[in-house]
Structure 1
Amino acid sequence: MAVGRYSKYIRPISYLVDFLLMVWLLLFIFPLITFGVKGTLFLMFIWVIIASFTEFYEVFRFTPPSSIFIKIVKHFSIFSLVVVALLYLLKREVEPKLTLQFLSYLLLLVTFFKYGIYFLLRKYRQLFGGNFRRVLILGQSDRANELSAFFKKNDDLGYRLLAVITSGDELNDFRNIVKENFIDEIYCDLNSVSKEFSDEVIAFAHSNFKTIKLIPDNSALSHNMFLDYYGYIPLISIRKTPLELWFNYWLKRIFDILFSLLVTVLILSWLIPLVAILIKLDSKGPVFFKQKRHGINNQEFDCYKFRSMRINDEAHTQLASKNDDRITALGRFLRKSSLDEMPQFLNVLLGDMSVVGPRPQMLSVNEDYAQRFDKFMERHYIKPGVTGLAQVNGYRGEIFSDKDVENRLKFDLFYIEKWNLFLDIKIILVTIKNFILGDEKAY
């Protein structure tokens, strides 16, 4: 049965269009003899080699726009160096302005085409229902339910969820359901089925040319795993998190220092004296509230905030709640506007915190959660942040149930494993938006 999709043609068309743009710009900008036929073919060959290295054309329906941007930056950074080196080796005397024009126009046109195809396909799937995949979910854990909700919510990705099989009889009959519904992709939840059954599903998918994807069990949920081979023996390795790589670590640290210096000079330089006067007029006590928190590798540090409560004995053991009578009149405004957190940019400059990362908890709360929630201490693989992915997704403020902690942990672990600088910038922009519009969970 035809499914009305033509995904297999998208990649070769993308290659063809990029090559045509390259040739057109070479002829349009440079004198004809600059590269010649051999030089042009060599550039195309190098383009393909670089693309395989940067995975430039590995763009799927579930690929986020930020990942596409990263691919473009990586690809053109390397390609630009190759073009400059080739001009030098060919001993062509070309004005630097022409080279810059060629690379700039190529970058602009390829980016426009790449994003154009990406968003046009999403809109096409949403409006006309084309370019779709028929999918089946086997299992009923929270992860399987989240995936089901994801497919239903993101109709522009083109996943048609035709069935979610949970009961024993239906599971045993999954082969007929796959064949009768012309299923393209099978998602098997390892939390809900036995190893024997998952092996059976994998074997069936392979023999019937169906895409099979596994929803990992909780023991593997927070790890980037891949296979290494020692001879012919496969071994599962745990991939390092991005911030364990020295380049990424220092990239984030330099960004933290520059951003925090900007905040300190432009905002804290006048905000601290102003708030200090208001706090002293409002209630007795120090301007800053200093509290021990756990940071990277579970090391303790002093976290600074503007004091928003009366001096009380429970300040280091009891979390704030809505209508908490310990909060002062000014403190209520500071907490509602999140201005009480601003001194933490000083913690960033000191190196104890980052602008973006998992939010630090008071010691007693942190130790309690570490005992009750698996993988909670994995949040301390990186520095805690002034803001974080969990916070911009609505998980901030008072904890009402264990589910709140689990959801925060889910976002924190995702951030640690998928970090990139553009994700930090996105989180900061959403935080600024929430600061301006207000957050109902800030109190």
Structure 2
Amino acid sequence: MPSHSKLKGVQKRGVIFSERYPPKIIFPALDILIVIFSGLLAYLIRFDTVHLHERYVLALVCMALLVVVANSSTGSYRRWRISSTFSILSKLMLVWVVIGIIVTSIIYFAHASDRYSRLWVGLTLLFSFLLASSARALVQYGLRRIRIRGGARRPVFLVGPSGNVLHVARGMRSASWEGHSIAGVERLNGTPSQEQLERIAQRISSSGAAEVWICVPLEMGETVHSLFYTLRNHTEEIRLIPDFKDMRLLNHRTSEVAGHLAIDLSVTPINGMSRLVKRAEDIVLGSIISLMILPVCFAIAVVIKVTSPGPVLFKQYRAGSNGKVFKVYKFRSMKVHQEKSGTVTQATKNDNRLTPVGAFLRRTSLDELPQFFNVLQGRMSIVGPRPHALAHNEYYKELVESYMRRHKVKPGITGWAQVNGLRGETEALEKMQRRVEYDLWYIDNWSVWLDLKIIFMTVFKGFKNANAY
């Protein structure tokens, strides 16, 4: 039977091969082969031959090098263990879009458009992106299956108070696809002595761990410094997993600000390229939907005008992105009345303020249709946390923790809370707390696919709700 040290050596070599070599060595080479193959296939489709002209060979080599350089600069060849397939493919799409812009710009400014087939360039980029994406998705899927079954594990040594270590260990088990395993545990009871620190270092060395995770609450900062200094001669990767206790974090991450490492506790994921993508989503879908609902809106406007005196539209100030106030539009569903200054009374069941068609409009959410104009204005999004009346914001922000963090993004016509049944009157504080929890989950997990899912769910279950009065 092989010795314990030999087994650790085999395990470590397995980790190195399955984790470091594929992204850093195999995929740059594979990307080059994929671009070359795609160029040959595109040339065959365009010119009925695979014997490339010299200028196409030069273009193909440049495209292959651009792919490798761009992927390297964006970190696409780094270790994938904790990366989601969606983030890998999103980054890859961005790389290919940039390369497409660079290639077409070079051809245009070099006045070489008559020397290169635009169809060939387009097909080469399309085929290479599809093949590169498929290869990454298959490898990621295969590695995850292997890790879930116990292979390609990365041993981790946990250090920290018992409760913190247990919490992190449970997270490791729930994310088994990442392939982390516990090589050892050191439970701390208060600040460790120098003797205990040295014993921890010895245990880590003999455990065969590839990483050390220091799992401590924020108030144990001095312990982190002592552990880090004690492990200064160790080659294991060291990670700090701080415990934020009951703090409600929003898209937390690390960043660099003014040359300093920062832990972002509450930031929006809809920024940079994501912000442009979401705005494009709103413009495209908002324009299409606005044209489709125009006849319905006209019919509703006529009915409101005929059945009740007063304006067709109801306008009210609401808080938008970053708390900026804007005017929201709705079809008027109530009789014209005067509220007390600084108060907004929520609609209730059998509310006598409702117009003859108001209850139907609110129950079916048809009163919200004019908000697509707010979307096209850029003040709202199709999907996002529903905007509340300013008076409600002032009331609930002191009662519900993290309530105002809903305003990290643009408010929406529909949202994750609404398609999960949290619509209408919030007569109990618990209902608003649940709505806020769903809103913050949406912000923390935003993606285009989640938006499309919510829109799809809204079409089939969100328009009619028994709780909407």
Tell me the percent identity: 25
Partner residue in 1 for 2:373: 346
Tell whether 2:130 aligns with 1:108: yes
Change (3 A) 1:161 1:90: farther
Whether the aligned pair in 2 keeps the contact of 1:310 and 1:326 (CA below 8 Å) is: no
Identify the match of residue 237 of structure 2 among 205, 210, 213: 210
Change (3 A) 1:275 1:170: farther
Larger mean CA deviation between 382-391 and 256-265 belongs to 382-391
Deviations 1:293-329 (A, max 9, x none): 11234343332345667888699545568xx453979
Identify the match of residue 9 of structure 1 among 16, 21, 26: 21
Change (3 A) 1:332 1:159: farther
Whether the aligned pair in 1 keeps the contact of 2:251 and 2:269 (CA below 8 Å) is: no
> Could you tell me how far apart the structure 2 residues matched to 1:118 and 1:103 are?
22
Deviations 1:342-396 (A, max 9, x none): 3322322344322233332221221234445666545445432223456567876
Identify the match of residue 84 of structure 2 among 55, 64, 68: 64
The two structures have a TM-score, normalised by structure 1, of 0.73
Residues 11-410 of structure 1 aligned to structure 2 (within 5 Å): 11=23, 12-28=25-41, 29=43, 31-35=51-55, 42-58=62-78, 60-84=80-104, 93-126=115-148, 128-135=149-156, 136=158, 138=160, 151-160=172-181, 168=189, 175=200, 183-188=209-214, 191=217, 193-203=219-229, 207-215=234-242, 217=244, 218=247, 225-227=254-256, 234=260, 252-271=278-297, 273-274=299-300, 277=303, 289-306=314-331, 317-319=344-346, 324-326=349-351, 338-371=365-398, 376-388=403-415, 398=426, 399-400=429-430, 404=434, 407-408=437-438, 410=440
> Could you tell me how far apart the structure 2 residues matched to 1:424 and 1:103 are?
23
Change (3 A) 1:220 1:335: closer
What amino acid does structure 2 have at the position aligned with 1:10?
P
Whether the aligned pair in 1 keeps the contact of 2:318 and 2:387 (CA below 8 Å) is: yes
Change (3 A) 1:412 1:84: closer
> Could you tell me how far apart the structure 2 residues matched to 1:24 and 1:361 are?
55
What amino acid does structure 1 have at the position aligned with 2:387?
P
> Could you tell me how far apart the structure 2 residues matched to 1:184 and 1:395 are?
45
Deviation at 1:184, TM superposition (A): 4.4
Whether the aligned pair in 1 keeps the contact of 2:164 and 2:243 (CA below 8 Å) is: no
Name the SS for the 2:351 alignment partner.
Answer: coil
> Could you tell me how far apart the structure 1 residues matched to 2:436 and 2:213 are?
23
Whether the aligned pair in 1 keeps the contact of 2:31 and 2:64 (CA below 8 Å) is: no
> Could you tell me how far apart the structure 2 residues matched to 1:63 and 1:34 are?
39
Change (3 A) 1:388 1:153: farther
Change (3 A) 1:151 1:406: farther
Change (3 A) 1:310 1:18: same
> Could you tell me how far apart the structure 1 residues matched to 2:170 and 2:358 are?
39
Whether the aligned pair in 2 keeps the contact of 1:280 and 1:287 (CA below 8 Å) is: no
> Could you tell me how far apart the structure 2 residues matched to 1:165 and 1:271 are?
65
> Could you tell me how far apart the structure 2 residues matched to 1:367 and 1:36 are?
64
> Could you tell me how far apart the structure 2 residues matched to 1:164 and 1:222 are?
29
> Could you tell me how far apart the structure 2 residues matched to 1:32 and 1:15 are?
23
Whether the aligned pair in 2 keeps the contact of 1:293 and 1:303 (CA below 8 Å) is: yes
> Could you tell me how far apart the structure 2 residues matched to 1:413 and 1:437 are?
21
What amino acid does structure 1 have at the position aligned with 2:65?
F
Partner residue in 2 for 1:411: 441
Deviations 1:226-277 (A, max 9, x none): 33566xxx475989967676x7766644543332222221024315625874
Larger mean CA deviation between 253-262 and 97-106 belongs to 253-262
Partner residue in 1 for 2:47: none
Change (3 A) 1:99 1:168: same
Change (3 A) 1:267 1:85: closer
> Could you tell me how far apart the structure 2 residues matched to 1:159 and 1:433 are?
36
- What is the number of equivalent residue pairs in this alignment? 428
> Could you tell me how far apart the structure 1 residues matched to 2:231 and 2:419 are?
39
Change (3 A) 1:408 1:220: closer
Larger radius of gyration: 2
Whether the aligned pair in 1 keeps the contact of 2:286 and 2:376 (CA below 8 Å) is: yes
> Which residues of structure 2 form unaligned runs of 5+?
1-7, 44-49
> Could you tell me how far apart the structure 2 residues matched to 1:171 and 1:390 are?
46
Change (3 A) 1:20 1:350: closer
Name the SS for the 2:387 alignment partner.
Answer: coil
> Could you tell me how far apart the structure 2 residues matched to 1:149 and 1:429 are?
29
> Could you tell me how far apart the structure 1 residues matched to 2:270 and 2:366 are?
28
Partner residue in 1 for 2:3: none
The two structures have a TM-score, normalised by structure 2, of 0.70
Whether the aligned pair in 2 keeps the contact of 1:376 and 1:409 (CA below 8 Å) is: no
Deviation at 1:101, TM superposition (A): 2.6
> Could you tell me how far apart the structure 1 residues matched to 2:96 and 2:208 are?
40
What amino acid does structure 2 have at the position aligned with 1:132?
R
Change (3 A) 1:36 1:326: closer
Partner residue in 1 for 2:451: 427
Name the SS for the 1:194 alignment partner.
Answer: helix
> Could you tell me how far apart the structure 1 residues matched to 2:421 and 2:408 are?
23
Name the SS for the 1:400 alignment partner.
Answer: helix
